[in-house]
Structure 1
């Protein structure tokens, strides 16, 4: 059978296999700051308790004004779209993890009028859309190139200097795993409210990353 649905293979199921991409892009959007709250609900689970269809929310900040909302499922057709929404613009891409075209990729940005998007008694919307294309960038090739660059401890291209060290990505990996663990805790709590602190997370080598209690509650 599919190891992604087996507790002995990947007990995180669709959260670990699909949700990790959603978590990582939100971490990037929020400048790799630690979130404060998370909650999740599973509509389908395997007989072994592996999530097959989930809806999740992760919040940044005590006011919960910054939010990641995602749906991950092994039960629906393949989807890979992302929206990043602000007060005046929306950024969209529909080839989030796997490129639709090996020679070019694109994203769109929709701009809304300062007065608001609704005109003519709220029966029409007023906005402008801009499409940005990138050519000659194979996503999987770039991933391997970046992995190799980090192993060599060379600076990455096109990212802030603080993002260009193995230490940074090691801590980012721990952060994403902590978020996934928080979502699984919420699912296993059967929608009841639990509160707890994430303790220091240890690496395989045995030393501590000193990442203290960043997710303050699991809802």
Structure 2
């Protein structure tokens, strides 16, 4: 165990916070010091339920307001899984209180808000990082290496991704992700964020020159004043000649794949967001051959599996634990890494352009400065 721990305050009791509760416990350099909700009873209920399965080294305190959490001197960093509409305010307030910030995605309502958040973090010398777990998997650099391999892939031409799940009747009526004031980007913000980030990482941060997108289905939860994207598709164009498309949906059953096509071969990740359960994460490359011999016509499959030893979740090697460990290292070091907020801002800028295009019936939106 590390001698010094990053002391986390969890701001809100969203479901994803339970996964990161365990990740903090397994990190070796962090611990949960307190959990805040709009009532102390709600925070205590969260603590009791999580502790029953994953006890922390010492039981965290229940705090009845977010302001009280930020006022505590025994908090080094906050994890913020609040609804998107609330993140801008609370990231800035956390930064002004001198707390490092690990925030859920999408980071805010738009890139202008994100820029303000990041400026506040920079001004107060605190680290900001968004909660995209696959950024910390050992698989991501493996994908990067394979995409650069001329013998396997050749010149990269095309990328595609899908991230979707079919929400039940309760989800489609009552979940905050179908409420236009709390989560206006709907499935684009919740799921499309991951697709866009994977594209950007695959191209070493290259931004698209323009995008075109459409909202295929709109959803409106109970009490929502407007609609949100329930099914969304987009096309991204890059100066390097690569194009990319993604589809995300609250109406289509579980899929989370990434595919890249080159002049000599292709690459596929079948579980790029939430790795399949097991002790390895993998990438598949293929160079299928079409063979003709007079009257004989055959398409031959030729594929290879590339894997790294890494558990899918809930283990010391899992991507969410690596994320907490990396963030805690940065927080404890006192030296901010500007690359993490840069990824957040780039991703938000692409999402904003896609959303704008979808509200203009698929119009081409330029992203060239």
Question: 1: distance between equivalents of 2:360 and 2:218?
Answer: 14
* Residue 301 of structure 2 is aligned to residue 119 of structure 1: no
When structure 1 is superposed on structure 2, of 146-155 and 47-56 the one drifting more is: 146-155
Question: 1: distance between equivalents of 2:305 and 2:281?
Answer: 10
CA contact (8 A) 1:103 1:138 kept: no
Higher gyration radius (CA): 2
* Residue 304 of structure 2 is aligned to residue 133 of structure 1: no
Q: Which residue matches 1:58?
A: 236
CA contact (8 A) 1:57 1:70 kept: yes
Q: Which residue matches 2:193?
A: 20
Question: 2: distance between equivalents of 1:71 and 1:194?
Answer: 17
Count of equivalent residues? 183
Q: Which residue matches 1:8?
A: 181
Flag structure 2 segments of 5+ consecutive residues without an equivalent: 1-173, 221-225, 311-316
Q: Which residue matches 1:36?
A: 209
* Residue 264 of structure 2 is aligned to residue 81 of structure 1: no
SS at 1:166 equivalent: coil
CA contact (8 A) 1:102 1:138 kept: no
Flag structure 1 segments of 5+ consecutive residues without an equivalent: 156-164, 197-214
Residue 153 of structure 1 and its aligned partner are, at CA, apart by 5.3
Residue 145 of structure 1 and its aligned partner are, at CA, apart by 2.1
The alignment yields a C-alpha RMSD, in angstroms, of 2.4
Residue 111 of structure 1 and its aligned partner are, at CA, apart by 2.5
If each structure's helix is expressed as a fraction of its own residues, which one has the higher value? 2
The structure-2 alpha-carbon separation of the partners of 1:84 and 1:148, relative to structure 1 and needing over 3 Å to count, comes to: farther
Residue 95 of structure 1 and its aligned partner are, at CA, apart by 1.4
Q: Which residue matches 1:184?
A: 355
Residue 190 of structure 1 and its aligned partner are, at CA, apart by 2.2
The structure-2 alpha-carbon separation of the partners of 1:145 and 1:46, relative to structure 1 and needing over 3 Å to count, comes to: same
TM-score using structure 1 length:
0.75
The structure-2 alpha-carbon separation of the partners of 1:169 and 1:76, relative to structure 1 and needing over 3 Å to count, comes to: same
CA contact (8 A) 1:81 1:96 kept: yes
The structure-2 alpha-carbon separation of the partners of 1:105 and 1:122, relative to structure 1 and needing over 3 Å to count, comes to: farther
SS at 1:43 equivalent: strand
SS at 2:344 equivalent: helix
CA contact (8 A) 2:231 2:250 kept: yes
The structure-2 alpha-carbon separation of the partners of 1:148 and 1:77, relative to structure 1 and needing over 3 Å to count, comes to: same
Q: Which residue matches 1:148?
A: 328
1:196-207 superposed matches below 5 A: none
The structure-2 alpha-carbon separation of the partners of 1:150 and 1:39, relative to structure 1 and needing over 3 Å to count, comes to: farther
CA contact (8 A) 1:14 1:52 kept: yes
The structure-2 alpha-carbon separation of the partners of 1:138 and 1:102, relative to structure 1 and needing over 3 Å to count, comes to: farther
SS at 2:188 equivalent: helix
